[in-house]
Amino acid sequence: MDSEIMVETLPLLGTCNLCLNEGAVKSMLIGHKYNGKSEVYAEILEKCFAIDVSLLQLGDTKRLICDICIVRLRDCMMFRHQVETSFNTLETAYKLHKDDKIDNDGIKREITLNVDFDDDLPNVDDDDDDERDPEIKPEIKTEPEECTRRTRSRTVKKIPTKCTVKKHHDLTETESMLQTGLFPFKIRKNRTFSCSICPEKSTNLDDIKVGF
């Protein structure tokens, strides 16, 4: 019975280019599986330290890396990713703060404009007061009218006084005429005689004279 031949990959022995220690190494130029992803250590080295191993003049030296340096290189890659994320976060926060500041400045300008407009309002009120002056003037004119009415009413009240003075004057003249033998009387349209002093009336003038 033939025995099966088992083949096992032997570790590559050599000198690590990153720490110069001899031992089991891997090539940095080919891809290696790690956590379901392929990683090329030469690309990681270039991303983290901007070192392109293909451009280095090393002669026949192979581009090799040991397991310890692979772990440290992965940590550098993770740290690089952390740094990039942090700076991106800071940059985004700055942009947001800048935009908020611009918005706040715009709001402050609007508030300032509103305040300036409010400061101009008293002048508008003054104009309104000037426009309202004609409405006040009729009220001012009303007082003279009341004074005129009062003056007229007082004048009307004084008329009887003037009439009384006139009657007194007429009575004095009538008495003077009687003393001289004259008898004053009035003749109405219906041929009725009336006394100039008293309201007595009669169609016979002698009847009126009897009273004197």
Rounded to an integer, what distance in angstroms lies between the CA atom of residue 112 and that of residue 116? 6
* 195: helix, strand or coil: strand
CB 65 within 8 Å of CB 25: yes
CB 8 within 8 Å of CB 57: no
Q: How many CB atoms lie within 10 A of CB 64?
A: 21
Residue 53: phi and psi, rounded to 5, are: -65, -20
Rounded to an integer, what distance in angstroms lies between the CA atom of residue 196 and that of residue 97? 113
Structure tokens at 94: 């700055």
Task: Write out the binding residues for Zn(2+).
Answer: 16, 19, 66, 69
Structure tokens at 53: 């191993």
Task: Write out the binding residues.
Answer: 16, 19, 66, 69
Residue 163: phi and psi, rounded to 5, are: -65, -40
Structure tokens at 98: 């800048």
